[in-house]
Amino acid sequence: MENFDADTQREILSTARELFKENKYNQTEPLLNQLILKGSKNPEIFQMLGTIYYDRGKFNKAIKAFRRALEIEPTYTDASVGLSIILNDLGRYEEGRQVFEEAQAALRKNSKEQDPFLNEKFSIKHDELGDMYLQHGRLEDALEQFYRALALSSRKPELTMKVINAYMKMEEDHKALQELEKLVKEYPGYIGARLQLGRIYFEKGEIASAVEQWEAVLLKDPENTEASRLLRQSQNLMESHL
């Protein structure tokens, strides 16, 4: 009978996962509560419940659900990030940061050696937190999270562009320029960086340098409409000054 009950719980959890992925929260919630009544201590159940409560604006219940997931499994990063997001939404920024960092420290303590997969997983969470801070206008916190993501990830071009964007929002264009120049030097074929570097040169009045970047883009991608548009813009400006 116990085996049947365990099998039944697995089936219910599997169904709940599928409904959760499809955002069918009204159907998911009773299944999750049924599992809790059966005594299940799977942290994923509480993480999904926390997400559902958060979606409905029931922040206190969401916080309790995420905290319960972390009581069961302190290294459960999905729950720590979910809890961090709610706390940040409520203006409890330092508490939100601490939750995620404690989960990260616990996971690192349990890991005997550096694991590239684990590092990338952490990087993604730092990236998500950086995006969240950016949305809340906490630019220095966002920058810190993007740098942490960068240190753990192989996605250097993508994450460096997020660092650059944060610097530009902070109106620290000289730091953005430095990061862009290093990025282009290391990844000369990265079109997004060359386009942005050209824009900064253009705004600084260094038209020839801007043109050089956009022409380099067109050499690699002759059909790039943005580079073509920017080149025409610079040519029109130069002609107007003749």
* Mean confidence (pLDDT) of the chain: 87
Q: How far is CA 213 from the centre of its chain?
A: 28
Q: Taking the alpha carbons of 53, 55, 56, 60 in that order, is the dihedral positive or negative?
A: positive
Can you give the residue ranges of every domain in the chain?
12-104, 111-176, 188-242
| Closest alpha carbon to 77 in 136, 133, 118 | 118
Burial of 139-152, coded b for 16+ CB within 10 Å and e otherwise, reads bebbbbbbbbbbeb
- In angstroms, rounded to a whole number, what is the distance separating the alpha carbons of residues 230 and 226? 6
Q: At a CB cut-off of 8 Å and minimum separation 6, what does 209 contact?
A: 198, 201
The pTM of the whole model exceeds 0.75: no
Residues, the chain: 242
Query: Is pLDDT of 43 > 50?
Result: yes
- In the CATH hierarchy, which fold is given to the domain comprising 111-176? 1.25.40
pLDDT value at position 7? 82
Domain 111-176 in the same topology as domain 12-104: yes
Side chain identity at 4, as an amino acid letter? Answer: F
Give the span between the Cα atoms of 231 and 138, in whole angstroms: 35
Lowest mean pLDDT among 37-46, 78-87, 174-183: 78-87
CATH of domain 188-242: 1.25.40.10
The CA distance from 226 to 145, in Å, is 30
Question: Which CATH number applies to 12-104?
Answer: 1.25.40.10
What does the pLDDT look like over 112-138, one tens digit per residue? 555 677 778 778 888 988 898 898 888
Q: Kindly tell me if the per-residue pLDDT of 73 is higher than 60.
A: yes
Could you say which DSSP state residue 14 is in?
H
Task: Assign 151 a pLDDT band (cuts: 50, 70, 90).
Answer: confident
